[in-house]
Amino acid sequence: MKKNIVSPSICVAAMCLATLVAGCVAPPAPPPRYVVVRPPPVYMSPLPPAAVAYSSPVVTPVISVYIDPPMVQPEPIAVSWAPPAMLVEVPPLSPFPMAVWTGGYWDWHDRWVWSAGRWMAPPQLGYGWVQPYYEHRDNAVLFVSGYWSAPGLRFVPPPLGISIAFAALGVGVVAGLPPIGPQGVFVPPPPGSRPGLIVPAPIGTPPAVVTSAPPVTNVGMRIQNTTINNNNVTNNVTNNVTNTTNVTNVANTRNYMVTAPAAATASGKPFEAAVPAAAHLAAALPPVMRLEAPVPVSTKPVAAFMSGRTPVALPAAQVVRPAPAIGTPSAPSAPSAPSAASLQRPEPEHRQAGASPAALPEAQRMSRVSDGRIEAAKQTNVQQAAQHAQRPPERFAGHAQPPQRQAVRPSPGSHPGERPKPEHKKE
């Protein structure tokens, strides 16, 4: 038999070919990777922040004066720091129909002084009261004091680009914080607020509209002017030419809407309220922080500030009454019962023996109304403000008033408490 002998070279070539073929084969798959599936996270509502006890800022003693307002628009002045927070000042009843409540607000007299409110008669017929003007411009406060405006004249805000020098400070006066808030017109913040804060408001807003609002510790409180038309009466007049429809607005309720987010108030709660536009009604609303303005020690008014004139001698500063805790609106104090001496009719000055006008205190010479009656008048003003904010005004004005009964005068010989006996006819 014939054997096939394979040469060694062929074996080597076969082994090399097998090696090349084996190199082209794909490597084995890697071991599988296991992905750990975690459960979805549970999102819990964040806990409310811990209640921080709010304490009213330390109120330094203030200078309280009556200011004699000018009869023309004063020149604007620039102040480097914001006015303090408002103070509470409940006005008494109006002494006469044409009286106008002026004040209280922060005025400038080489420093911020409190212009105490009072009832005043317009200096001339047709004159109107113009509220003080505060504006935040270029990190300063442009201020125009309250004044009497002649008929037909309107307030002119300080124009842009005008150069106003900063007002000089009084001796020993330390400047406060610059205004904190947006640029534009504003009023001071509510009583007990953080120093330096301002509240944006329309031009002509009485500063007293914020006295019933809660104190603020951050920027955010605003004031908007709103007018609500409650009742409209439509009169149709028909003639041969045309039909004319006259719409007469009988009652317009003008209010200011005061709003603040929760992040701005010291209580951490949002605030929104409609406040009467009348300054005396707004000031009569119950305040949250009762920081009462001190009564001026002198009833003699101080001349209005004028740039470049000699500084006016100011009285000593007075301590402001402390305020209650935040979140507990303080109800107005109940009027005290009038004493027997207060119910007696005061004698004229020339009949008072041993009491000359110079010997009496100045406050007693200017007012002879008892404290009980003043508190009663304040209570009546508070009730009027509450009624104005809660219910709409009457539909028509000028209703016929019920006839008033005339008091029967006793005869000269009878006792004041006895009624005259009726006369019997003889038959």
Contact 262, 268 (CB under 8 A): yes
pLDDT at 397: 41
Structure confidence by residue, pLDDT tens digits, 91-103? 999 999 999 999 8
Q: Which of the two residues, 353 and 72, has the higher pLDDT score?
A: 72
Pairing of strands 100-102, 118-120: antiparallel
Q: Which of the two residues, 334 and 140, has the higher pLDDT score?
A: 140
The pLDDT > 70 percentage for the chain reads 56
- Phi, psi torsion values for 252, nearest 5 degrees: -115, 125
Q: Is the pLDDT of residue 192 over 70?
A: yes
Structure confidence by residue, pLDDT tens digits, 161-183? 888 888 888 888 888 999 999 99
Contact 122, 128 (CB under 8 A): yes
> pLDDT confidence of 157, banded at 50, 70, 90?
very high
Contact 64, 84 (CB under 8 A): no
> pLDDT confidence of 126, banded at 50, 70, 90?
very high
CA atoms of 299 and 116, how far apart (whole Å): 10
> pLDDT confidence of 71, banded at 50, 70, 90?
very high
Q: Point out which residues pair with 148 in neighbouring strands.
A: 129
CA atoms of 198 and 255, how far apart (whole Å): 20
Q: Which of the two residues, 56 and 369, has the higher pLDDT score?
A: 56
* Residues in Cβ contact with 117 at an 8 Å cutoff, skipping those fewer than 6 apart: 89, 91, 101, 102, 103, 104, 208, 279, 280, 283
Q: Is the pLDDT of residue 219 over 50?
A: yes
Q: Is the pLDDT of residue 87 over 90?
A: yes
Q: Is the pLDDT of residue 48 over 50?
A: no
Q: Point out which residues pair with 227 in neighbouring strands.
A: 254
Give the chain's mean pLDDT: 74
> pLDDT confidence of 31, banded at 50, 70, 90?
low
Per-residue pLDDT, averaged over 303-323, amounts to: 85
- Most confident listed range (15-24, 220-229, 262-271, 354-363): 262-271
Structure confidence by residue, pLDDT tens digits, 273-297? 999 999 999 999 999 999 999 999 9
Q: Which amino acid is at 116?
A: A
pLDDT at 170: 86
Nearest to 279 by CA among 87, 101, 48, 99: 101
Q: Which of 2-16, 112-126, 345-359 has the lowest mean pLDDT?
A: 345-359
Residue whose tokens read 């000042």 = 89
The 10 Å Cβ neighbour count of residue 329 is: 14
Q: Which of the two residues, 66 and 419, has the higher pLDDT score?
A: 66
pTM of the model: 0.64
pLDDT at 226: 82
Q: Which of the two residues, 247 and 166, has the higher pLDDT score?
A: 166
CA atoms of 168 and 78, how far apart (whole Å): 9
User: Cα dist. 51→54, 57, 214, 266, 324 in Å?
Assistant: 9, 18, 17, 11, 18
Nearest to 212 by CA among 346, 381, 365: 381
- Taking every pair of Cα atoms in the chain, the longest distance, rounded to a whole number of angstroms, is 190
344: which 2 tokens? Answer: 């007696």
Q: Is the pLDDT of residue 263 over 50?
A: yes
Q: Is the pLDDT of residue 384 over 90?
A: no
pLDDT at 11: 64
384: which 2 tokens? Answer: 């009027």
275: which 2 tokens? Answer: 């406040």
> pLDDT confidence of 241, banded at 50, 70, 90?
very low
CA dihedral angle for residue 277, residue 279, residue 280, residue 282, rounded to 10 degrees: 60
